Structure 1
Amino acid sequence: MKELSSIGCEHYRATVRQDPRFVPYFRAATPEQELGSANIGSRPQKRRPGGVETLRAIPWVFSWTQTRLHLSAWLGVGEALEAVMASPEHASTLAEMYKHWPFLHTNMDLVDMILAKADKEIAENYDHLLVSDPEQKKLGIELRAKLEDTTKAVLKLSGEQKLQQYNPVLQWAIVLRNAYVDPLNILQAHVLKRLRTEEYKSEEEKQRLQDALVVTINGISAGMRNSG
């Protein structure tokens, strides 16, 4: 567990704190900038001016949930699992831990559940509409690749063929909710683009866009059931 934690933390920090593209990408690709003006939550979204480290936990998780990337829940997990499972001996030990230790099993199942709710195509659409910087676009591609790699690593550990394989009720619930949430995500990305580029002709139209944004935020949050 110490090795898993160390490797996962190292990769998480390398992306979030050490990659100069990350904070600008986060601000562009998610509705983080708009959460404060949308009057969502009981406390300010930031403790003080600054980078990601100044954000409260709720808007940090909330923003990634909105775009369906759910980055805050799985970043670093895939690299940690891959590194440990690269050794046959360690892979065998980890498999036994997963099978017999409820703490690890429960945590991995939670990651599995969040990955099942993630949608890289939806996240990519946010990048397409909202991210203009080429380097930030590259980062988005890298993060979506990490999502796929993490999914493969989690499935390798669990021995399952697909996420939430033994939870058909949740599988069906996700499919059912996505029929409603997907259009909200598409609408939200377009509304964010229009607000940020000031594609409106009057303050009244701007207010309608802001109202629409709040509706999408609340709808996506309700559909994901894990808002932060």
Structure 2
Amino acid sequence: ARPETARQNLGLVLGAMLEHSLMPAEARQANPVWREAMDIMAAESRQRYRTLVYEDSGFQAYFEQATPIEEIAQLNIGSRPVSRGGTLAVEDLRAIPWVFAWMQNRHLLPAWYGVGAGFSDFSQRSGGLECLRDMYRNWLFFRSLVDNLQMVLVKADMRIARQYATLVSDERERDRLFALIEAEFRRTHDAILDITEQRSVLERQPQLLASLRLRDPYLDPMSYFQVRLLRELRRLPADDIGRAAHLQAVLRTINGIAAGLQNTG
């Protein structure tokens, strides 16, 4: 137990509650035009996400090989197994290990994939971009959504994600899928800059950006270590005497990266 951390967390919660209760009613509500815009963008984003995750024949192999999901399954950190059906199929996985795996390989894919498609397609409509900017300025729900996405984009790192992608054995499928993921990441990044009218992500939240960047010198080497250890572990025969030691090393990097990112799923 950490009383100081508990007090800080309680202060944040109480502060948010007070801010919300004192806020004018119109600031908490969305006008019908904004809600319609959200419905349109949500439908496009959902379709883009499902096309990759559920309909792309190569995605399952990419997920299993480019993330440490198999190793995460061997961590004793939950009351339930990682999947409902005893397999690593996307349909069977529970939500927490699914997100946890994508945090580890610095893709953070479930947090943003499809958002760029929804934002950019809507912004190309007549008056669409100005509508999104108005939503960001005047609708707290949308502003919170976009600001959380900014934090996620800073935590994600396509340079490191590309290294995890090299763990996928089928080179053609690896390159094809990573190109899709990277393109959507850039689309999301650019759309958020357009909506927030910033030159860079988190430009208006320099303290948060500095806090996140402060972790990079510690996180990045650990990610590279994890890629190397995963590659070595997966090459070892099941009965190799060094397999247990390699697995323990991988599990330590999983704990370290989770602590550094401060997200587990």
Q: Is TM (by shorter chain) over 0.5?
A: yes
Contact 1:131–1:137, Cα closer than 8 Å, also in 2 = no
In the other structure, the counterpart of 2:96 is 58
Report the Cα distance in structure 2 between the residues aligned to 1:200 and 1:28, rounded to whole angstroms. 17
How many correspondences in the alignment? 226
The letter for the 1-side match of 2:68 is P
Report the Cα distance in structure 2 between the residues aligned to 1:131 and 1:144, rounded to whole angstroms. 16
- Percent of aligned pairs with the same amino acid: 37
Q: How does 1:94-113 map to 2 (within 5 A)?
A: 94-113=132-151
Report the Cα distance in structure 2 between the residues aligned to 1:29 and 1:85, rounded to whole angstroms. 33
Q: How does 1:163-178 map to 2 (within 5 A)?
A: 163-178=201-216
4+ long deviations beyond 3 Å: 199-202
**TM-score, length basis structure 2:** 0.81
Unmatched tracts of structure 2, length 5 or more: 1-37
Q: What displacement does 1:87 show?
A: 1.5
Report the Cα distance in structure 2 between the residues aligned to 1:111 and 1:173, rounded to whole angstroms. 16
Q: What displacement does 1:155 show?
A: 1.0
Q: Cα deviation per residue 1:24-59 (whole Å; 9 max; x = unaligned)?
A: 110110001111123233321001145212111101
Which residue, 85, 108, 112 being the options, matches 2:123?
A: 85
Unmatched tracts of structure 1, length 5 or more: none
**Distance change (3 Å), C-alpha of 1:199 and 1:123:** farther
In the other structure, the counterpart of 1:13 is 50
**TM-score, length basis structure 1:** 0.94
In the other structure, the counterpart of 2:261 is 224
The letter for the 2-side match of 1:160 is Q
Q: Which moved more, 1:163-172 or 1:25-34?
A: 163-172
Report the Cα distance in structure 1 between the residues aligned to 2:137 and 2:126, rounded to whole angstroms. 16
**Distance change (3 Å), C-alpha of 1:24 and 1:200:** closer
SS for the counterpart of 1:80 is helix
After superposition, the CA RMSD in angstroms is: 1.6
Contact 2:62–2:174, Cα closer than 8 Å, also in 1 = yes
In the other structure, the counterpart of 1:210 is 247
Contact 2:71–2:251, Cα closer than 8 Å, also in 1 = no
In the other structure, the counterpart of 1:121 is 159
Contact 1:194–1:200, Cα closer than 8 Å, also in 2 = no
The letter for the 1-side match of 2:150 is D
The letter for the 2-side match of 1:85 is S
Contact 2:71–2:247, Cα closer than 8 Å, also in 1 = no
